Amino acid sequence: MDQVSLVIILFAALLVPLVMAKFKISSLPTAVMEIIIGIVLGPSILGIVNTTNAITQLSTIGVIVLLFLSGLEIDFSLFKKRRPAMTPLEQKTADQVSTYSPVRLSVYAYATVVVLAGLLAAAFKVSGLFSDFWLAMILFGTISLGIVIAALKEKELLSKAFGQTILLIGVFGELVPMMGLTLYASVFGSNSKSLWLLLLILAVAALLLLRFKPFFRFYQNINKSTTQLDIRLAFFLIVTMVTVAESVGAENILGAFVAGIVLKLLQPSESTRERLDSIGYGFFIPIFFITTGVDLNLRTLLTSGKTLILIPLFFLAYMVAKVAIFWVLRLRFKRANALAGTALSATTMTMVLAVLRVAKDMKTITSDQSGAFLLAALLTCIVSPLIFNRFYSAEKEDLVKTSVHFIGANLSTVPVAQQLKQGWYNIQMYTNHPENYRTYHAQAPVILMENFSAADLRDHGVFDTDILVLGHIDAERNYELAKVAHEYGVKRIIVRFEDRNVLNAREDELKQLGIEVYNTPEANITLLRALIESPSTLLMLNDTENSIYEVRVVNHRYTNVQIKNLSFAQEITISQVIRNRKLIVPNGNTMIMYGDRLIFTGKKQDAAEIRRALATAN
C-alpha cells in the first residue's frame, strides 16, 4: 500500500500541469492545485492515499529543497551599493530610477506586517480566542515563499523590479518567522541552549562560502556529464546546513534556506540552477505540496464547532496582517499591481506547517486550533493567487521599447529607421543638413540641429539611448563622436565608415572599445557573394513580411526544450544556434539551452513578439 500511495501521488504530480494546460487554468499556481489534489486524494474525500513513513520523508526533503531553491532565487545585486565611478549615462539613468528600491520597499512592507501581526495576536489573546501571543504573531507574519515564487515565475516577473520586491517581502515572511520560531522553541521549550548556538549556522555558512569560492572556476575544467560535481556540491551544502541547524535546535528549513544563499553567492551557472530546478520541481516539491493536502483531513477538522468559528477569523488575520503592504507598494507601483502584490504576499502555508509541527510537539496548541490555522492558510493559497492574477498587469517601466538614435538622416539610415519603428523600438533621427530635414522629416522622426558637436549632442540627449547609430557620411566625425559616446556610457554603438583609409586607421581601436563598424562597399561585396553562393538570399532580404532576428535566450520556459517542441516552432525558422561562441546547425531535435543565441526568420508581426518572449528573463 505504501508504494501504491506513492505511485498515485507521482501520477497526480504528472497529471496536474497537463490538466491545467489542457483547460487553460492560469489563475492558480501549480503548487496550489497540487495541495487541492492532495485534499481530494486524501482522507478528506476519496481516501485512496495515506501518508506513510517513506512519503513523509520525501515530503520533508521536498520542503527542504523548496527552501533551498528559494534562497537560490534571491538577487543579491539588489543589496549592492552603487558603484562610485559611473558613466554620465549610468548616473542619469540611476537618477531617473525610483528612489524606492525593491530592498527598501520590502523592508518597509514587512515592517508593517510585523506591527499588524503583533496587534492581531494581542486582539486574539484579549478576546480569549487564542491565548499564545508569540505563536499567533509568528503565524500571522508568515508568507509562503514557495507559492510566491511559483506565481512570479509563471508570470515571468522574477527579473522585474515588482517581482523582486514581492520576492524579498516573501523572503522576510519566511526568514523572520523561521528565526522567530527558533527563538520561541528555545525560550518556551526545553532546548534553551540552542539560542546562542544559532550563530554556529552563520559561521558554518561563512566557512563553506570561503572554502568553495573558487569551485565553479575549477569546475569548468572537469568532465561534467559523468561527475555532475555542481549538483553534488548543492546537496552537500543542503545536508551540511540542515544537519547543523538541527544540531543547534533550529528548523531544518532554516539550514536549507541558508544553504541556498551560500550556493547563490558562489555564483553557479544557469545550467546548474536549471538542473536543480528540475530535480526540485520535477520530483520532491510536488510530493511535498500534494502530501500537505493529503494531511488536511477536512472530515475531522470541520466537525469541530470551534474550528469552524476560528477558520474565518484566522483567515482574516492572515490577510489583514499584510494589508498595509498595499500603501508601501503604491510608492512605486500602480494601484492595481499594489493590490495584486499585497494579495500574493498574504499567501501562507509552508511556515505555518513548520510552526504548527513545533507547537504540537511543545503542546502549546490544540488540534482544533492547529486545524483552523491550516485551513485558513489553505484559503489564502486559493484566494490570494486569484486576486493576484486578476489584477496584475505590466508596469510602465517594463514596457519601455529599445531606444535607437541615428546621427545622420540619409538614404542609408532613413529606410532602416522606418522599418525598425514598426517593431519594438523607439526611433529618433538627427541631422544638421536643412535639405535632408526637409526631405525626410515627413517619413521618419527627424530633428534638425545646427551642428553635431559633442557638447550639443550631449545637451540634446542624443547620447541618452540604448543603441547609437553614427550614420553620417563624415567618417572622421563619426570616429570622434563614437569615442565620446563610449565615454558617456552608451552600451551599443554602430559606426559607418565610407572612407576605407579612415577605417583602416581606426578600426582596431574602435573594436577594442566594443564599438561596431561597417563599410557600405564591403557590405555590398558580402551581399553579392552571398547572392552568388546562395541565390535565395535576395528573396529573403527583399521579403517585406519576414525578417531575420537574433536573440539571446534567457527565459527558462524555453530552455532545455527541443526546437520541434517549442510552442511557436511552426511560426519561425531557426537557422543557427550560437553556444559558447560556437555555431551549431540546428535540427528539430536540437535542445535550446540557457544563454544560446538564436538566429531565426519569421513574419515580422509574430517574430518580434517571439523574440521578446525569448529575451524575457524569468
3-class SS letters over 117-134: HHHHHHHHHHHCCCCCHH
Cell of 516: 561596431
Mean pLDDT of the region 465-483: 86
Residue 528 pLDDT exceeds 80? no
CATH number at residue 496: 3.40.50.720
Does 258 lie in the same domain as 348?
Answer: yes
Whole-number pLDDT of residue 513: 82
Residue 125 pLDDT exceeds 90? yes
Does 316 lie in the same domain as 297?
Answer: yes
The secondary element (H helix, E strand) that includes residue 582 is strand 582-584
CATH number at residue 551: 3.30.70.1450
pLDDT-based confidence at residue 275 (cuts at 50, 70, 90): confident
- From 396, 431, 465, give the residue that closes a domain: 396
Terminal Cα distance for the chain, rounded: 40
Q: Which domain holds residue 600?
A: 545-614
Whole-number pLDDT of residue 278: 87
Does 127 lie in the same domain as 263?
Answer: yes
Which range is most confident: 26-40, 255-269, 290-304?
255-269
CB 593 within 8 A of CB 560: yes
Residue 614 pLDDT exceeds 60? yes
3-state secondary structure of 549: strand
In a domain, 91, yes or no: no
Does 277 lie in the same domain as 173?
Answer: yes
Does 258 lie in the same domain as 130?
Answer: yes
In a domain, 540, yes or no: no
Whole-number pLDDT of residue 183: 80
Does 434 lie in the same domain as 350?
Answer: no
Does 406 lie in the same domain as 390?
Answer: no
In a domain, 46, yes or no: yes
- From 530, 565, 592, give the residue that closes a domain: 530
pLDDT tens column, 384-439: 988 998 898 877 666 567 889 998 888 888 888 887 887 778 889 998 888 888 88
Residue type, 81: K
CA atoms within 13 A on the CB side of 137: 19
pLDDT-based confidence at residue 37 (cuts at 50, 70, 90): very high
Cell of 481: 563622436
In a domain, 146, yes or no: yes
Nearest partner of 38 among 218, 294, 406, 210, judged by Cα: 294
CA distance 497 to 519: 5
pLDDT-based confidence at residue 309 (cuts at 50, 70, 90): confident
Does 293 lie in the same domain as 193?
Answer: yes
Residue 129: how many other CB atoms lie within 10 Å: 17
What is the average pLDDT score of the chain?
Answer: 82
Whole-number pLDDT of residue 400: 67
Whole-number pLDDT of residue 497: 81
Does 212 lie in the same domain as 186?
Answer: yes
In a domain, 280, yes or no: yes
Nearest partner of 33 among 392, 385, 279, judged by Cα: 385
pLDDT-based confidence at residue 337 (cuts at 50, 70, 90): very high
3-state secondary structure of 7: helix
DSSP codes, 124-188: HHHHTS---HHHHHHHHT---HHHHHHHHHHTT-TTSHHHHHHHHHHHHHHHHHHHHHHHHHHHH
pLDDT tens column, 541-599: 566 566 677 778 877 778 877 888 787 777 777 878 888 767 787 887 888 887 788 87
Does 141 lie in the same domain as 264?
Answer: yes
In a domain, 89, yes or no: no
Residue type, 57: Q
pLDDT-based confidence at residue 40 (cuts at 50, 70, 90): very high
Residue type, 112: T
Helices then strands, counting H and E runs in the chain, come out as 29, 12
CATH number at residue 132: 1.20.1530.20
Phi-psi region of 17 (alpha: psi -120 to 50; beta: other; left: phi over 0): alpha
Does 179 lie in the same domain as 33?
Answer: yes
In a domain, 538, yes or no: no
Whole-number pLDDT of residue 120: 95
pLDDT tens column, 128-187: 889 899 999 999 999 988 788 878 877 878 778 888 899 899 989 988 888 888 788 777
pLDDT tens column, 430-449: 988 888 888 888 888 888 88
Does 155 lie in the same domain as 141?
Answer: yes
In a domain, 104, yes or no: yes
Q: What proportion of the chain, given as a percentage, has pLDDT over 70?
A: 87
DSSP codes, 369-398: HHHHHHHHHHHHHHHHHHHHHHH----GGG
CA distance 236 to 227: 14
- From 396, 429, 456, give the residue that closes a domain: 396
Total domains in the chain come to 3
The pairing of beta strand 492-496 with beta strand 516-518: parallel
